[in-house]
Amino acid sequence: MAIIGIETSCDETACGIVDSKGNILSSIIASQIDTHAPYGGIIPELASRAHLINIHKVVKEAIIEAKIKLKDIKAISVTNGPGLAGSLLVGLNFAKAFSLSLDVPLIGVNHLEGHISACFIEEEKFNYKKNNIFPCISLIISGGHTELVLMNDYDSFKMIGQTRDDAVGEAFDKVSRILGLGYPGGPIIEKWAEKSERNDYKLPRAWLDDNSEFSFSGLKTATKNLAQEKIYDNKLKDHEISIEIANISNAFQQSVLDVLLTKSVAVAEEYNCETILVSGGVAANGFLRRNFENNQDVEVIFPERKHCTDNGIMIACRGLVDYLAGNFTDEPKEINAMPQLNFL
């Protein structure tokens, strides 16, 4: 038995396949980084067009890599929100047609539940029976999301807090643009921060009155002002500019980490949770991973780095949970794209 997962919520066209025991059979991703890099961010129309070109090839390649036949597919899971409307529609409509052609159930998957599921993938197997960690707090950090969610089991989610303005991944991208470093900003900022030899640049932390809420717009502005003062208002040589970029990147990354870690631990303690799940594209940041894992107050679980960014495996894994629980429909037309879907 095989479950297919299709992901097209943003700029990655992805397909993953798992079997009934959670074994990962294949994972194919078509990246659009080169398409959007010249613009410093994602252009929704270009993303939709790229999905149209890539989706059939990606799904076909995933099936070939998994070494399965069409008759082995028992259900198709697909991201139906949240995400970019045009991108979601490409994946969802393809999945609907595929489901109808095979006469198998279609499972609509919340993109954020998919990211959380990636935390349970260990050694190429989805361990969906790890019940000893509940209740736990899930921190979801990506280009479009910064949320703290209380989980009592695999199907119980309660939104505790989220960003009031920008997602943390978006802040990384925009700071990278401010410093003239390119896109995507997360891995670029991390590499530059590693070159820093000083920690005396201090950027603000938006603590807010609520431990569960985040804000990064002020940090972006403060970083822009610091870059203006240290770089753009001065006539610096190339090596001096590089030094300042490294120092500012380090200060920005330190501020982000401080807020994410402090608030996550505080919320975990408030809800008597001993475990924090950290998922989403920003969870691939090595500096953040090391500091979260070195924290002694709670256990922290990260997905493998390759499963942090958008992928089809996480959607297939969540689809497997729903399939085994009977949470699916035999009428694919009943599932609609919900780009502004509020988390449970």
pLDDT in tens, 290-339: 999 998 889 999 999 999 999 999 999 999 999 999 988 888 888 888 86
Count H helices and E strands in the chain, helices first: 10, 12
Domain spanning 168-303: which CATH class is it, in words?
A: alpha beta
* Average pLDDT over every residue of 154-172: 94
Condensed to tens digits (0 to 9), the pLDDT of residues 246-301 reads: 999 999 999 999 999 999 999 999 999 999 999 999 999 999 999 999 988 899 99
Most confident of 84-88, 126-130, 328-332: 84-88
Task: Specify the pLDDT at position 334.
Answer: 83
Residue 343 has pLDDT above 80, yes or no: no
Please tell me whether residue 22 adopts helix, strand or coil conformation. coil
Task: Specify the pLDDT at position 200.
Answer: 85
What is the CATH T-level fold of the domain 2-129+306-334, as seen in this structure?
Nucleotidyltransferase; domain 5 (3.30.420)
Which residues are bridge partners to 28 per DSSP?
15
pLDDT bucket at 41, cuts 50 / 70 / 90? confident
Question: Which residue would you say has higher pLDDT here, 198 or 236?
Answer: 236
Structure tokens at 222: 């403060």
Task: Specify the pLDDT at position 130.
Answer: 80
* Average pLDDT over every residue of 26-39: 94
Residue 342 has pLDDT above 50, yes or no: no
Which residues are CB-neighbours of 152 under 8 A, at least 6 positions away?
A: 134, 135, 158
Task: Specify the pLDDT at position 128.
Answer: 81
Local structure of residue 282 (DSSP, 8 states)? G
Task: Specify the pLDDT at position 8.
Answer: 98
Q: Which amino acid is at 333?
A: K
Task: Specify the pLDDT at position 328.
Answer: 86
Q: What percent of the chain has pLDDT over 90?
A: 87
Which residues are CB-neighbours of 182 under 8 A, at least 6 positions away?
A: 37, 40, 176, 188
Residue 140 has pLDDT above 80, yes or no: yes
Residue 23 has pLDDT above 70, yes or no: yes
Question: Which residue would you say has higher pLDDT here, 104 or 344?
Answer: 104
Task: Specify the pLDDT at position 173.
Answer: 96
Residue 141 has pLDDT above 70, yes or no: yes
**Which residues in the chain are classed under CATH 3.30.420.40?**
2-129+306-334, 168-303
Task: Specify the pLDDT at position 344.
Answer: 46
Q: Which helix (H) or strand (E) holds 11?
A: none
Task: Estimate the crossing angle of helix 238-270 against helix 185-193, to 10 degrees.
Answer: 110
Task: Specify the pLDDT at position 340.
Answer: 56
Task: Specify the pLDDT at position 197.
Answer: 86
Residue 72 has pLDDT above 60, yes or no: yes
